[in-house]
């Protein structure tokens, strides 16, 4: 395929590197004003990888018009404006837009595929690339399994066929609603895990994981998805990379927050905590862990008191 990656951060740069590795013709787009893009244009490298010369680096977004597939890796809260105001004029029938990030839109609580559907021409296909994996590990040759999902069976089949290799094995997603909600919510659970690390009580991560998957399964079911999706790669299967890994931005953000330290990298779970609570309220589902994270981050509640309240909840029943 001829593909373009939009977003030149660590994950976007990795996507370009990986797609090139899989034999595709790759362009990587970044804004002229981006410090990361300027660094790539100068050295073709960041702190994790070096891009081969055959990958085209461009600051011209119109390049996407010549691509079979466009892989998007940007801050989820900027997705609507990017697609609607910048990318949509260059897209046409038969192209595939693959969303390679996890989150929900604050204010609307909408899934990112819904945001894309509302922002792009009707004849552009939409897919999501989700699941566990850190650039640091992939670049060392450590393999993992991930998920491709879409409302289009043919799009899923094409992408899984074109993208699967020894480094990443892709599974066919069967539940776009559940996979997107589960993937977004796991970042919030990752922040809660960081709270536990910062407070030196990581032993509670077992309870956090079991209860986290259960509350997310209830939310997925209320949204019309398959509750079992919460126990797949999109959510529970991503806990190792999110709840324990030293590379997890969300876990590290939560730990830094409790310690009163500054954390400058993007932690999508910060925005998702508010969006997922809004979504849960709209369908009448309790999400105790996500609600606790939201109260700490947005309402100034003490992490110690909130965790004490959370883990003191329901002494009679496991869930």
Residue with tokens 């976007």: 12
Strand partners, 144: 168
Direct distance between the N- and C-terminal alpha carbons of the chain, in angstroms, rounded to an integer:
47
Measured at the CA of 197, the angle between CA 195 and CA 200, to 5 degrees, comes to 110
Residue 156 annotated to the active site:
no
Contacts of 212 (CB under 8 A, 6+ apart): 185, 186, 189, 192, 239, 289
Q: Helix, strand, or coil here: 116?
A: helix
Q: Which of 102, 110, 156, 186 is catalytic?
A: 186
Distance, in Å, from the CA atom of 141 to the CA atom of 134, rounded to the nearest integer, reads 11
What is the full DSSP assignment across 239-267?
A: HIIIII-TT-HHHHHHHHHHHT----S--
**Contact (CB, 8 A) for 199 and 303:** yes
Distance, in Å, from the CA atom of 168 to the CA atom of 159, rounded to the nearest integer, reads 13
CA dihedral sign of residues 255, 178, 129, 102 = negative
Which residues does the annotation mark as catalytic?
186
């Amino acid at each position: 395929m001829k593909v373009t990656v939009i977003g030149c951060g660590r994950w976007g740069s990795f996507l370009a590197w990986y797609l090139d590795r899989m034999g595709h013709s790759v362009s990587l787009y970044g804004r002229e004003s981006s410090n990361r893009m300027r660094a790539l244009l100068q050295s073709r490298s960041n702190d994790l990888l070096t891009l081969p010369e055959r990958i085209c680096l461009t600051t011209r977004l119109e390049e996407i018009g010549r691509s079979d597939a466009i892989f998007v890796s940007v801050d989820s809260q900027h997705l609507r404006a990017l697609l609607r105001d910048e990318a949509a004029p260059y897209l046409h029938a038969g192209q595939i837009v693959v969303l390679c990030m996890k989150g929900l839109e604050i204010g609307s609580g909408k899934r990112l595929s819904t945001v894309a559907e509302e922002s792009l021409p009707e004849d552009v296909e939409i897919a999501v690339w989700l699941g566990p994996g850190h650039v640091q590990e992939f670049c060392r040759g450590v393999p993992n399994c991930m998920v491709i999902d879409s409302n289009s069976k043919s799009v899923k089949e094409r992408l899984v066929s074109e993208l699967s290799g020894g480094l990443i094995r892709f599974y066919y997603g069967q539940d776009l609603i559940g996979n997107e909600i589960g993937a977004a919510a796991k970042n919030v659970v990752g922040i809660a895990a960081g709270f536990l690390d910062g407070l030196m009580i990581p032993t509670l991560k077992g309870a956090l994981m079991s209860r986290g998957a259960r509350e997310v399964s209830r939310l997925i079911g209320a949204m019309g998805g398959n509750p079992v999706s919460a126990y797949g790669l999109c959510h529970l299967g991503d806990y190792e990379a999110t709840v324990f890994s030293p590379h997890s931005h969300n876990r590290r953000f939560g730990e830094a927050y409790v310690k009163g330290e500054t954390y400058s990298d993007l932690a999508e779970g910060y925005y998702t905590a508010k969006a997922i609570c809004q979504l849960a309220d709209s369908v009448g589902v309790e999400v105790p862990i996500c609600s606790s994270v939201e109260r700490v981050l947005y309402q100034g509640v003490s992490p110690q008191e909130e965790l004490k309240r959370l883990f003191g909840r329901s002494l009679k029943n496991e869930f």
